[in-house]
Structure 1
């Protein structure tokens, strides 16, 4: 199947215009983000009002992000090359940015107008460290967690990754630890080029080389070289699939800048990728002004690398926060991290599995049934499934199945 930060200081794809000039300017230079449009390709429209939501897809039946169900039937979907895509290209675990109507908080719903998605890395696996739940590719370290979704073509999860296998990684950059935390991994066997987002280091404008993590990149023949290329800049590069003299050859640079526009309502979940203080930081490249926000758990844990949920509004490119919540990982793994709606196929009553929206679902005697029973399950049945990922990340273990 096929799909679809960051550094402590970078040329973010999401330029934050000043809300307080000094603060915005400082955070614009820090932290990256995923899913930007390069020069060329179509240009997605910008919604001037309404809501903005950023996070990982946790369910379908419409699209569920941060606990809100967005009707995506009329949405324009774009990949990180600015190309129009369809809703079927959106996958569980992929990080998206959604521009939508105002959210009905009572019903937890909204109507999406624009959805953007993009991965961080495409490349061949170099090595796998099962004990640490990590692997490397293109000189970068990727960490998998209990909520990392593996495409069903990678049955076995991390054990399915072997040296040389080309994969696509949807992730968030953890600047505090220098790793990409994967939310989705899928094979990319048909890749004609590789991709990498990261922080420029060791820039040599004479040799026309620089480093991202452990990879040396040569941009001597690259097109669309940004004038802002400098050490510390956050860039997206497309690479040739064969290295030359130990260096990866850059074909072109993606345009990592975009204005999100103003939104009277915004909610983001992610990792703090740049930090000045507990009230001035950025989440996945979006500058946050939390000077007037309430902190339910206090401010001590609001540090570089912390996972947070922030609510507020976007004004002049800055997230003006009203609430900051430290994400509680103890609430994960309670049986309903993910939710899928759709039509059952490939039902195997012996193995007690079926396929739903491209993901294998497993049920058992511990599964709760509503408006029907296990004996009524059949190919073509429309169901809602809630559950957690299996230990290998490639199967959704159903805690509840409801017939629709």
Structure 2
């Protein structure tokens, strides 16, 4: 849901699909059902000029940046937010969704060199209600679901229990169109927000009243500085909002650039949710059009449906992911001890509580196994690799294994 190196994006993703090339009918069909590609590809193989790789997914580790199991060297990468502003690598957070343009990926070593990284969230707004039993909360008329892999910023100690009515938060998430919920991968507080933000699908467009709905919110764009010519029911848009509603409507100040245009890449790998579906071979993942006509399906095609989590690899051609392999991601693979990986220098070591800080995250090591060293050797300044799961509140990484580096 992002764009090529000079453009910007929208992203979601916890799935892999391996892709090849799509035709005009695919792009048109997916746009019609809200899935969106832009230009249709002209062939079934990447053009000779296509180079490098394209990857979209949530950040699952640092020591460089780890996305979809690949470690990208980000030391020379340009980092941008979804407004096109230059940022630094310190702005990249665990659980945030990113798009990466990089060198060809070394599959044997699971590594690549990033040239451009883009990141952006789906929602910024005030919490309206919390349903602890369902692990959900609402804001700006949208329902957000938290899971065992949702990362809560350390400013939200206690995770969902820290979510109180009126608290302004920023949500990195994937849109599950089958259930009409946002599945959060990262949540952080945003106390100084001067505007709110919402990404979603347009419905009930009224061009006379200049309003439309998005989930349970009514948005008024009468005072928006610019209005995209593509605004229509079913379109995926990003809007910035005033922080105070008027007569029950949220006032749009401007529309973000949500073009789906991407450069050609000989390799592409995406994890995400199927957000639009025509058939098992023509669908969209997090707004990215996919042609899986010539793909192999490890688990068959029956599970390739709206709302399914998939992992895809292939090539990017004229903004379409042309799949060669499609894999249905099993949610049971999460929570088995090594969902996240961090590399860095130990600080704030507390041997009584058996915790330390690593790249801004609290690590609990009481149940960890050790490699190339022991717990007795752990000290502030130690260089370590930590693999583990999030605690129940999403604010602490519970280490399953710690390697000294």
What TM-score do the two structures reach when normalised by structure 1? 0.91
Matched with 1:249 is 251
Structure 2 residue 204 is the aligned partner of structure 1 residue 202: yes
Partner of 2:264: 262
Partner SS for 2:26: helix
Q: Distance in 1 between matches of 2:368 and 2:55?
A: 32
Look up the match of 2:313: 311
CA distance in 2, matches of 1:28, 1:99: 24
Match of 2:24 in 1: 21
Q: Which residue of 2 aligns with 1:37?
A: none
Which position in structure 2 is the counterpart of 1:403?
Answer: 404
> 2:274 aligns to what?
272
Secondary structure of the 1:158 match is helix
The secondary structure found in structure 1 opposite 2:238 is: strand
Whether contact under 8 Å (1:314, 1:320) holds in the other structure is: yes
Look up the match of 1:79.
Answer: 81
Could you tell me which residue of structure 1 aligns to residue 326 of structure 2? 324
8 Å Cα contact 2:33/2:276 also seen in 1: yes
| Separation of aligned partners in 2, 1:19 and 1:329 | 28
Structure 1 segments (4+ residues) deviating >6 Å: none
Structure 1 Cα separation of the partners of residues 263 and 95 of structure 2:
25
* Mapped pair 1:165 → 2:167: yes
Taking the aligned partners of 2:281 and 2:315, their CA distance within structure 1 comes to: 15
Report what 1:224 is aligned to: 226
> Alpha carbon RMSD of aligned pairs, Å?
1.6
Gaps of at least 5 residues in structure 1 are 6-11, 34-46
For 1:217, what is the secondary structure of its paired residue? strand
The residue that corresponds to 1:345 in the other structure is 347
- Residue 28 (structure 1) shift: 3.3
- What SS does the corresponding residue of 2:154 show, helix, strand or coil? coil
Aligned with 1:153: secondary structure? helix
CA deviation after TM superposition for structure 1 residue 354, in Å: 1.1
Q: Report which stretch shifted further, 158-167 or 354-363.
A: 354-363
Q: How do 1:322-401 and structure 2 match up within 5 A?
A: 322-364=324-366, 366-401=367-402
Aligned equivalents of 1:95 and 1:316: distance in 2?
A: 22
1:19 to 1:32, Cα distance in 2 relative to 1, 3 A = closer
Deviations 1:35-85 (A, max 9, x none): xxxxxxxxxxxx952111111110000000111000000011110000111
Counterpart secondary structure, 2:155: coil
Deviation at 1:246, TM superposition (A): 1.4
Gaps of 5+ in 2: 2-8, 12-20, 37-48
* Contact kept? 2:34, 2:201, Cα under 8 Å: no
How many Å apart are 1:31 and its aligned residue?
4.5
Contact map agreement 2:199 2:236 (CA 8 A) in 1:
yes
Query: C-alpha displacement at 1:349, in angstroms?
Result: 1.2
Query: How far is 1:259 from its partner?
Result: 1.5
Deviation at 1:206, TM superposition (A): 2.0
Matched residues in 1 for 2:204 and 2:299: separation?
Answer: 40
- Distance (Å, rounded) in 2 between the aligned partners of 1:391 and 1:180: 19
Task: Tell me by how many angstroms 1:199 deviates.
Answer: 1.2
Question: Out of 142, 152, 155, which is 2:154 matched to?
Answer: 152
- The alpha carbon displacement at 1:358 in A equals 1.1
- Distance of aligned partners of 1:345 and 1:29 in 2 relative to their CA distance in 1, 3 Å threshold: farther
Assess if the C-alpha contact under 8 Å between 1:31 and 1:284 holds in 2. Answer: no
Tell me the CA shift for residue 19 of structure 1: 3.3
115 and 48 in structure 1: CA distance in 2 versus 1, 3 angstrom threshold: farther
Residues 28 and 285, structure 1, Cα contact 8 Å, conserved in 2: no
8 A contact 2:276–2:285 mirrored in 1:
yes
Relative to structure 1, the CA distance from residue 305 to residue 202 in structure 2 (aligned partners, 3 Å threshold; closer, same or farther) is same
